[in-house]
Amino acid sequence: MSEMVDAATGGADEEYGTTADAAVDEALSRLAGLEDQPLRAHVSVFDAVHGALQDRLADAEG
């Protein structure tokens, strides 16, 4: 993922980077800092990210 560019810094983001799709980037940004959250919180975050990515895919497919 090192070839992805971090929009905020203009440099490579070692963890997630950007995808050039704002909706996908927004969904993935929810994963930032998740490792610091209790395990119980992970399920709802993963569910929200999954839902957002499914919505974006449905939009792209028309």
d(C-alpha 37, C-alpha 13), whole Å: 21
The string of pLDDT tens digits covering residues 21-51 is: 999 999 999 999 999 999 999 999 999 999 9
Domain segments of the chain as ranges? 22-61
Name residue, tokens 């998740």: 34
Task: Provide the residue type at 12 as one letter.
Answer: A
Percent of the chain with pLDDT over 90: 66
Cβ-count burial 26-44 (b if 16+ within 10 Å, e if not): ebbeeeeeeeeeeeeeeee
The pTM for the full model equals 0.68
